[in-house]
Amino acid sequence: MQIPAVFAVEMGEDAIGAVSVPEGRCLPETGDRVIPFADAAASIPRGETREPAVVVDWDSIRARGFREAVLKGMRLRGRDIWFLAWVQDADDLMDAFNTTAESVLFPYHAVASDDDLQDILSMSDSAIPTVFVRNGKVVNRSIAPADLRETIGRLDDLGFHRTCILDTDGSVTAYKWERVLDLHPLSVPFVTDGSAMEGCCTGLLIAPLRLRPRF
């Protein structure tokens, strides 16, 4: 199942917007068009059963700090929200769950230590570490980038059996996806184009919602 992801930003006066990420990219860039969040929410199809949708607090990811503006305005009717934000510790996680979010995703490289990771896990098993990959390597807590399979294995050993892998630049090869998903089938790819994962991923995957102007 493909899960749509909406990148939310503050627009001022308690309003939030959604960044329109063009085809061919997984993440927003400066200058991308911003539309009202309500318009983005309305464009997400609703099925007969409640399914998840990801709301990315893009302001918090860029600022590398937890923020509250997006929390107040994110509403998705008929969908369970998976909220991706900059969470550094259990206190941030508590604030993130003080919303309508069913699950909270957080950047693995935002958490300073394994002790903090275990504190997060002890608070909720609905907290999902998100491993950012750039140039085929994990964006690590230290300066040196890390190996993807080793990182997912370490998180599994710590008790995080579900992780999200955000391929920021399309550098994770099909072979590497197959190896990682074979060893860790609960991992959730976050990719530019979900159709490119056909035959490789049989479970959940996340891809940006491609927003169209409303006339």
Q: How far apart are CA 136 and CA 40, in angstroms?
A: 31
Tell me which of 55 and 142 has the higher pLDDT: 55
Q: How confident is the model at residue 197 (pLDDT cuts 50, 70, 90)?
A: confident
Bridge partners, 208 (sequence order) = 5
What are 64-103's pLDDT values in tens digits? 999 887 877 788 888 999 999 999 999 999 998 877 889 9
Q: How far apart are CA 178 and CA 163, in angstroms?
A: 15
For CA atoms 144, 64, 170, 174, the dihedral sign is positive
Q: How confident is the model at residue 17 (pLDDT cuts 50, 70, 90)?
A: very high
Residue pair 83/105 in contact (Cβ under 8 Å)? The answer is: yes
What are 142-195's pLDDT values in tens digits? 777 899 999 999 999 999 999 999 999 999 999 999 999 999 999 999 999 988
Q: How confident is the model at residue 215 (pLDDT cuts 50, 70, 90)?
A: very low
Q: How far apart are CA 83 and CA 42, in angstroms?
A: 18
What are 31-47's pLDDT values in tens digits? 899 999 999 999 888 77
Residue pair 8/58 in contact (Cβ under 8 Å)? The answer is: yes
Q: Which residue has the tokens 């990811």?
A: 61
For the chain, the straight-line distance linking the first and the last C-alpha, in angstroms and rounded, comes to 30
At residue 43, φ and ψ (nearest 5 deg) are: -85, -5
Length of the chain: 215
Here the tokens at position 4 are 């749509």
Bridge partners, 167 (sequence order) = 133
At residue 177, φ and ψ (nearest 5 deg) are: -60, -45
Domains (ranges, CATH) in the chain? 2-208 (3.20.20.70)
Parallel, antiparallel or unpaired: strands 188-190 and 79-84: unpaired
Task: Please indicate, yes or no, whether the overall pTM of this predicted structure exceeds 0.85.
Answer: yes
Q: Which residues have CB under 8 Å from 62's CB, separation 6+?
A: none
> Can you give the pLDDT at residue 212?
67
